[in-house]
Amino acid sequence: MTQTAPRPAALPAWADTVRQKYLAGEASVFVLYRNVFDRYLNNTPANGGALSLVDFLSGVLLKENKRNIIEFSVDRGVRYLQGGGTDDRQILYTHLEGKGLGGIFDALERRMREQGSTAIVIPYAGTLFPATEPHFLSMDERAALTALHRWSLDDALAEGDNVVLLITESLAEINPVLLTNPRVAAVELPMPDQDERAAAIRHYAPRMPDAQVARLAGHTAGLRAIQLASIVAGEGPGLSQGERLKLIGELLAGTPNAAARAEKLADITAGMTPDEIRRLIDPERLPSPDSDPDQEMLAVVRKRKRELIEKECAGLIEFVEPRHGLEVVGGNEHIKSELLAIAKAVRAGDRARSPMGLLAVGPMGAGKTFVIKAFLKEAGLTGVALKNFRSKWVGATESNLERVLATVKAMGPIALVIDEGDRSFGSGGEDSDGGTSSRVIARLKEFMSDPDNRGQVLFILMTNRPDKLDTDIKRPGRLDRKIPFFYAETAQERAAVTAAILRRYQGGDGLDATILETLCADLDGYSNADLEAVALLALEFAGRAGRALDESLFAEAVADFIPPQEHDMIRYMELLAVAETSRRSLMPPRFKSMSAAELRAELSALRLKLTR
């Protein structure tokens, strides 16, 4: 990439960043990370199509600027991608066998010094420069790390128009000695934006109408170009377009507009087996084609998108699929009002009124998980739950977190739901795990406070022990709204919760509000989970008796059910919720008048009692 070389047309933003930093002399060693296993579109006649990253670098970015382009990887050895004599794919590895990594890097350095204008591309760089402590590295690995570090600081190599590009999915896989070097530049390759997704869809499905391309591009945020190919490519592995069209036509036979619908669905089921298509396309579960002809197609795309992202994240996240909105939540009127206002702001795209994050706190069984899921449906937000991303392997935990955060950011607007947040992001354990916990929390804090995420990524943490959360995570700008959940305070509130539970399970038509209020009068201290257990027990009694649920059967269930007896722990969790919230209007009357001194004193006494 010399000053006089012509600039490749239509470079992606990341490629232009590499070019500008190189020409400015900021760095001659680059680490390309994140979306490195995707396909990159190129329209130049000599090397058009969708290219892998190595092919894009050698065939587009570096082709006109470097005399020699050499690839070095553990699996394929050392080979010329460009230059090297008469054979552009000359294998060099056989000439270096027995010399180890030190010998290979010595040979590469001689070529750069003697020939100049050389680019060295190193895919899977984490296998050569692993992120581990120096004393765990082999002598070969130490030699390679030292050589690359020295190259980055060598002015003669830089003046010879040489460049080194390391490729890795996560920076956590690369030895930090390299990343802290001021002459090494890390450049992120982001997930495709909407325009890039539209270009990829047009490339893989050239016959697709522009309106359909635009809608698909808008509903496939978070997918790579290579994943879009597996959805919309007309031909390729698996069934052909004609075979898919015939199969889907048979599945939709006898339904309205079957032929037109089959053609659209055939366009988005590339690469699927017949059994996968049958499972995906169920006429009884698809949206009605009468309301919006594209809704059926988009419903199938959303299913495929979930499958692809869950597979790519290897069990690190799972999609939250709420069945109900806030209309089915009984009681909790103040909480529902607060969440409805937030949902309205999110739906309207009002970033100024959309919080960065929510912290749901309160004792177990208070309905935090159920209400938050209902909120997601009400707000129209895609929700993903963060599963256990921690690993015993060095660097794997940080790498897993980076993969999740990159995926989540690309899918926005989205909600990242973390249940039992104190277990995932507690403040303990930093000194006993080699610093992994502190690095994870630091990265999470950085991501949570990124202003670009407002209105795009909503963090939702749920916990009954907020005292175990890292204090800095809970500050405004990360978790703006702290919503306390408590057990129903009055018989009327308990009756409302119970009625909502019975409606969900389609029972209790014979119990009006007055009867339920009387039945719930003596259930003081029952959690929402306890009330649900009582209601289900009453429905079970009704099923055994072979009649509809009535007052006597419900009273029998109340008398038979024994609630948990952990009164001190529940009280402690209630007080923690009071201590966290910053709005008195969200607290029950019994806590509104409690002073800060009274709160601290009772918390201290209960903490002492519970630790005995």
Give the DSSP per-residue string, 459-477.
Answer: EEEEES-GGGB-GGGGSTT
526 domain-assigned: no
457, 408 Cβ separation under 8 angstroms: yes
Residues 441 and 329 in one domain: yes
Residues 396 and 373 in one domain: yes
Give the residue-averaged pLDDT of 333-352: 84
Give the residue-averaged pLDDT of 385-399: 68
- The domain boundary, picked from 484, 507, 522, lies at 484
Of the two residues 59 and 292, the one the predictor is more confident about is: 59
Q: Does pLDDT of 97 surpass 80?
A: no
For residue 265, give the H/E element and its range: helix 258-266
- The residues, any chain, with a CB within 8 Å of residue 148's CB and separated by 6 or more, are 29, 105, 129, 164, 178
524 domain-assigned: no
Q: For residue 592, give the 3-state DSSP assignment.
A: helix
- Output the CA–CA distances (angstroms, integers) from residue 509 to 228, 504, 505, 556, in the order listed: 49, 12, 11, 17
Q: 127: closest CA among 180, 72, 89?
A: 72
Say what the pLDDT of residue 484 is. 93
Q: 500: closest CA among 330, 333, 348?
A: 330
> Where residue 387 sits, what CATH number does that domain have?
3.40.50.300
Residues 105 and 203 in one domain: no
Say what the pLDDT of residue 533 is. 94
- The domain boundary, picked from 439, 468, 484, lies at 484
Residues 93 and 211 in one domain: no
Say what the pLDDT of residue 583 is. 82
- The residues, any chain, with a CB within 8 Å of residue 573's CB and separated by 6 or more, are 362, 363, 364, 464, 465
Give the residue-averaged pLDDT of 481-499: 91
Say what the pLDDT of residue 114 is. 92
State the pLDDT confidence band at 435, using cuts at 50, 70 and 90: low
CA dist., res. 216 & res. 198, Å (int): 8
Residues 176 and 203 in one domain: no
Q: 460: closest CA among 380, 372, 389?
A: 372
Give the residue-averaged pLDDT of 495-521: 87
425 domain-assigned: yes
489 domain-assigned: no
State the pLDDT confidence band at 284, using cuts at 50, 70 and 90: low
CA dist., res. 50 & res. 39, Å (int): 5
Give the residue-averaged pLDDT of 501-514: 84
Least confident piece of the model among 124-128, 444-448, 600-604: 444-448
Residues 149 and 169 in one domain: yes
Q: Does pLDDT of 226 surpass 50?
A: yes
129, 175 Cβ separation under 8 angstroms: yes
Q: What is Dmax (Cα atoms) for the chain?
A: 95
Q: For residue 82, how far is the Cα from the chain centroid?
A: 38
Q: How far apart are the two ends of the chain, measured CA to CA in Å?
A: 69
Residues 34 and 174 in one domain: yes
Digit-coded pLDDT (tens) for 561-572: 998 878 899 999
- Output the CA–CA distances (angstroms, integers) from residue 381 to 319, 323, 402, 457, 473, in the order listed: 11, 13, 22, 10, 23
Both structure tokens of 523: 């259930």
CA dist., res. 136 & res. 121, Å (int): 25
Residues 322 and 461 in one domain: yes
- The domain boundary, picked from 484, 518, 541, lies at 484
Residues 29 and 175 in one domain: yes
State the pLDDT confidence band at 157, using cuts at 50, 70 and 90: very high
- Output the CA–CA distances (angstroms, integers) from residue 492 to 209, 520, 566, in the order listed: 56, 8, 24
196, 204 Cβ separation under 8 angstroms: no
Say what the pLDDT of residue 290 is. 59
Of the two residues 321 and 576, the one the predictor is more confident about is: 576
Torsion of CA 328, 332, 336, 337, to 10 degrees: 140
Digit-coded pLDDT (tens) for 460-479: 999 999 988 888 888 888 89
105-137 b/e (C-beta count within 10 Å ≥ 16 → b): beebbebbeeebbbbbbbbbbbebbbbeeeeeb
If you average pLDDT over every residue of the chain, what do you get?
Answer: 84
Residues 291 and 238 in one domain: yes
189, 31 Cβ separation under 8 angstroms: no
Residues 177 and 206 in one domain: no
Q: Does pLDDT of 557 surpass 90?
A: yes
Q: Which residue type, as a one-letter code, is found at position 141? A: E
Structural domains in the chain (count): 4
- Output the CA–CA distances (angstroms, integers) from residue 277 to 107, 231, 233, 247, 249, in the order listed: 53, 12, 15, 8, 12
7 domain-assigned: no
516 domain-assigned: no
pTM for this predicted structure:
0.75
Residues 44 and 115 in one domain: yes
Domain that holds residue 157: 13-189
Say what the pLDDT of residue 236 is. 55
Which range of 155-169, 233-247, 394-408, 578-592 scores highest in mean pLDDT? It is 155-169
Of the two residues 222 and 432, the one the predictor is more confident about is: 222
313, 337 Cβ separation under 8 angstroms: no
Least confident piece of the model among 324-338, 424-438, 480-494: 424-438
Give the residue-averaged pLDDT of 152-164: 94
Of the two residues 260 and 119, the one the predictor is more confident about is: 119
553 domain-assigned: no
Say what the pLDDT of residue 385 is. 87
4 domain-assigned: no
Say what the pLDDT of residue 94 is. 46
Say what the pLDDT of residue 6 is. 40
